[in-house]
Amino acid sequence: MFAHVEQEGPQSDVQLLFRALPERDPDAVAQSLLVRILDDGMSSRLHSALCDQRGLAYSCGAQIEPLCDTALLEIDATCRHAKVAELVTLTLDIVADLCARPPDPAELARVKQRSLWDLAAAVDDPEALSGWFGGLRLYWKPDSLQTRAEKIARVAADDVLRVARRIFQPKGLTLAVAGHLRKKEQSQLERLLRCTLQPWGA
């Protein structure tokens, strides 16, 4: 699905949305590491490719919007109007690569370690603890931080590959652009959505 909203100004806001996995899905922890591979600082895949190597985006990011029974994986970026198609093409290439091969062991080890550091930091953060234990308790009994850490440690590269193939399906993809696009550029983006991703087996 493609949606375009005309917006004046020097740049376009681009958002790619995929149907993702809810927190209670067995693959939710692997999903969190997948998101970190995409966006976990300046050395992560999105920032490195879109901002540093190609200079396409002013900013970019990826995050999960969780609900109790489903979730959205959001990839967003801002760029010049004329660069939207190139940016979307490269982003979909990054996504397709995650579906084609498991992450490098060093890359997976890095995002695991950063996840564990965040858990350790939460112990001294009352707001983070109340959000984790209080917010989730509205729906179910949350894992302890130790249990979460153990689950992170058990995630293998093939788990991340499997999750990528579950999430990055063409039928679950929406592209939204707020900016100035000519009719020709809008048609180009619609073709990209139809042709770039294949229906990976779950």
pLDDT per residue as tens digits for the range 55-114: 888 889 999 988 778 899 999 999 888 888 889 999 999 999 999 999 999 999 999 999
What is the per-residue pLDDT for 143? 74
What is the per-residue pLDDT for 181? 81
What is the per-residue pLDDT for 136? 65
> Cα separation of 153 and 33, whole Å?
11
Pick from 95, 187, 108: which is nearest to 153 by CA?
A: 108
Lowest mean pLDDT among 7-16, 140-149, 176-185: 140-149
6-55 confidence digits (pLDDT tens): 888 888 899 999 999 998 899 999 999 999 999 988 888 999 898 888 88
Residue 3's pLDDT band, with cuts at 50, 70 and 90, is confident
Q: Within the chain, what is the greatest distance between any pair of CA atoms? A: 53
What is the per-residue pLDDT for 124? 67
Whole-structure pTM value: 0.86
What is the per-residue pLDDT for 140? 66
Q: What is the CB neighbour count within 10 angstroms for residue 194? A: 10
CATH class of 2-104+160-195: alpha beta
Lowest mean pLDDT among 4-13, 40-49, 151-160, 192-201: 192-201
The domain limits of the chain are 2-104+160-195
> Cα separation of 183 and 179, whole Å?
12
Name beta bridge partners: 65: 72
Sign of torsion over alpha carbons 156, 108, 101, 30 = positive
What is the per-residue pLDDT for 122? 67
